Each structure stands twice: as structure tokens, then as C-alpha cells.
A and B are shown apart, each in its own frame.
Chain A
Amino acid sequence: MSDLEQRLTQLRRELDWPETPDLATGVRTRLGDATKPAAAARRSARRGGVRHLLPPAGLRRSLALALVALLVLAGGVFAAVPGVRDAVLDFFGLQGATVERRAELPAAPEFRPLRLGSRTTLEQARGSLGFEPLVPRAAGRPAAVFVKDDVSGGELSLAYRAGPGLPEAASTKLGLLVGEFRGDLHPEYLGKIVSQATSTERMRINGARAVWIEGAPHLFFYRPPDSDFAETELRLAQNVLLLEHGNLLVRLEGAFSRERAVELAGSLR
């Protein structure tokens, strides 16, 4: 073996290969499902299983938003979130998200670990989520896929590295971060707090309601079901587009322009 071949062999030992994922479980699940139609039927039933227990989606959303609005105005919901006690100047919501404007933003770290859940693949996410994942085709394939099961139906995150058309956002260190969850099941899951310096524009994209938040960084947080609000972590966010897409609430975060955000949202499939 030549010296170069020895160096290549040595390189093999020193290379930091990406960690091998547990393929066996995923393959077994897929093969098991393919041979057991009943399993797919059960999963399907689980996904939609809670719906018959709830009021119609539109009514659920109205009731939830009304409740959140009442609590906000009473200073109740956010009283447990440190620093979030200022008067609400404006309040509105989408199916799955609320946005409120305040005179001053509470303190929050510039960057906080994103806590997106478990690393997975789109293929596996399709099997575990209670909805069909949407991918912004205009951005190509995500660099990484994550799922979290804090809420029924699950939450999907797609991470894209910075690149042409997707400048790096200080808040995420990514070019694009996409979040998706069942907004119809969790009408108030995602909360936004914007300052007077932050621009918010309500719009429609392909007929769907959307909100574009741009300018000064704003805060966002989650209200996990059955969890104390005091444990909620505030995080600074950059430009964000919130979009109602069928029964999903889709969130696009990055340092891109409004036009680019609309293009990305319009390419969700």
C-alpha cells in the first residue's frame, strides 16, 4: 500500500461521520404498516380521533381566541410569564397563533437553543404526525427535520441552512425555519409579542389568512397544553410569516423579505 493509500486509510479512521440513525426501526415500521392495513387504519383513527369530541373547528377557534383575549385583557395569561405585564395595545389571532402588541418587550436572550424536538426524516415524520407535512418547494429540501410531540398531532420543524435567497437569521442561525402544527386543535398554541417598532401586516396568500411580522425583533413562545405558563421560554424572533394552511398553522422565520416569504409560503406542498 502506497503512502497516499495509507493516509486515506488513516483519514477513514479520523473522519467524523454523521451518526448513523436507527434505520432498522423505521424500516420495520414501514414494512409492518405495509403488511398490516389495520395498523394504518388505527393510526389514521388516532390522528383524527379527538375531533369528534371537540366543537367544530371554526367554533373552537372563536371560543379559544375569545378566551385568550379575555385573559390577556385581564392580565391573567401572561402574568406568570416573567416581564410580560405591560398593557396590551393590540391583539389579534390566526388559527393556532395569537399576536399582541405591547409598549415594551420583556427581556429575552438574543439567541436561545431552538429545542425543535427529535431529529427525523420527512418520511418518518409523515408516519408520526397527525397531518401531512408541507415543504416550501421554493427552498428545496430541508437540511434537517425535527418532530416534537408536545401537542396532539405533533409539531414539525424544517431547518434550512443559510444560502442564496435565505440569509442567516440572528435568531436561529439558519436561513429558514419552518414550523407546522394543527392550529385547529390548538388555536392558541403559539404566542407572539411585538413592540410598537415592529410592523405587522395582515394579508392573504392563495386565499389563506396570513400575518407578516417584520422589523424590530419580536418575542414568541408556546403555550403547551397542560403546562404551566411560568415554564414558557421567551425567544427573540426575526421576520416571521404566520399562515393558516388548511387545518395547519405554518410559521416561516428568517431574515428574508416579505416578497420572499410570500413566495416560500405560496410554494408549500
Chain B
Amino acid sequence: MRARRGELDAYEEIVRLHQTIAFRTAWVITRSAADAEEAAQDGFVKAHAALARFREGSPFRPWLLAIVANEARNRVRGSGRHVRLAQRVAEERRPDDAVPSPEAALLDSEQREELLAAIDRLPEPAREAIACRYLLDLSEEETAAALDCPPGTVKSRLSRGLDRLRLELGEAEA
């Protein structure tokens, strides 16, 4: 791997390839674009420093996402913040990316809001598992790496999360 030999051009290409999924993974955890950007960037820098420890032949993305997600969790722990996913989605939608404003666009689908709100009400482990697996489209292995837990735990969190969502949405429709 050229990047492991210290070729910055090669590592820059790797960052470009993975920056969207890394940023979104951090965003799912921090619920803040600014924090997610910092977490993802710090994650990439730390991953570069740790490239020598990366096992050649093993998948790179789960390894990277584990580092980025850890950075993101550190920021959430530091801030003590908990903001709803649906609210954060609306707040982050700024057409000119100028400043946050109360006029930020609202989610335009009631059904989507209902589903997002139901995800928000899930306990954190299930919520993050659902977000990583379905909203980020991570594999179970990648979800496990990002959430720093065994794949079996991801399966059970997903199962509990889906059951809870069905219950919530069923009650809402009743």
C-alpha cells in the first residue's frame, strides 16, 4: 500500500474515497455537522498515524470507521449534548450553508418525520445500530466496528430496534 510507505498523494485519495461515509458516520453519532467534520478529520489523521498497525488484506473501511466513530463519541461525551435526529436533520439543511436559522427547511414528509421521530425515541444503542445499518447502509461488520461491539450484539440491537419501531409506528397509526 503506497499510503503506508508515506505517500501523501495516495492517502489523500483514500480520504476522498471514504470521506462521505466517515463524515456521515460521525454525524449520526454527534448530530452536528461541525463536530462530525472535526471528528472525521481527526479520525483520518489518526488512521494515517496507525497505518503501520493495519493488517494488510483485511477490509479498510470498518477499521477506519471504528477510529472515526471513536472520535465522534469522544466529542459527544465532552459536550453532554443530546439532540434529536429529526430536529438535527432540519437544522443542518441550510441551502447557502451560511448560518443556522430558524427558517431552515422542515422535513417535507409527515411519514418521514414520523419514522425519524420514532428512531429518535429508541434507546441509544438500538438507535445507532439502526442509523448505521439502514441510514448509512453499513454492513453488519462495519456497524459493529463503528459501534465498537461484536457483530452478534449488532444483530440483537437491530432486532430490538426494529421491534420497537414497529410497536411505535403501530401505536401511532392506531
Contact = CB atoms under 8 A, between A and B. Distances in A.
Interface of A: 2, 4-5, 7-9, 11-12, 14-24, 26-28, 30-32, 35, 113-116, 119, 121-124, 140-146, 159, 161, 168, 172-174
B56 to A, nearest CB: 21
Given A4-B169, A122-B38, A159 B115 contact: no
Contact size class for B? 35 or more
Contacts of A17: 24, 27
B11 interface: yes
Contacts of A124: 41
A4 B162 contact: yes
18 contacts: A11-B135, A12-B135, A16-B93, A18-B36, A22-B19, A23-B19, A23-B40, A27-B11, A113-B98, A121-B37, A122-B38, A143-B32, A143-B34, A144-B33, A144-B100, A173-B99, A173-B102, A174-B99
Contacts of A12: 134-137
Contacts of B99: 114, 116, 144, 146, 159, 172-174
Contact of B41 (A32, A121, A172, A174): A121
B98 A28 contact: no
Given A23-B19, A27-B15, A140-B81, 6 more contacts: A9-B134, A11-B112, A26-B41, A27-B12, A143-B32, A144-B33
A26 to B, nearest CB: 5
A28 B8 contact: yes
Interface of B: 6, 8, 11-13, 15-16, 19-20, 22-24, 27, 32-38, 40-42, 44-45, 48, 75, 79, 81, 89, 91-93, 97-103, 105, 109, 112, 115-116, 130, 134-137, 162, 165-166, 169
B19 A24 contact: yes
A31 B11 contact: yes
B98 A23 contact: no
**Which residue, A21, A26, A32, A140, has most C-beta atoms of chain B within 10 A?**
A21
B27 A18 contact: yes
Nearest to B134: A8
**Which residue, B12, B89, B92, B99, has most C-beta atoms of chain A within 10 A?**
B99
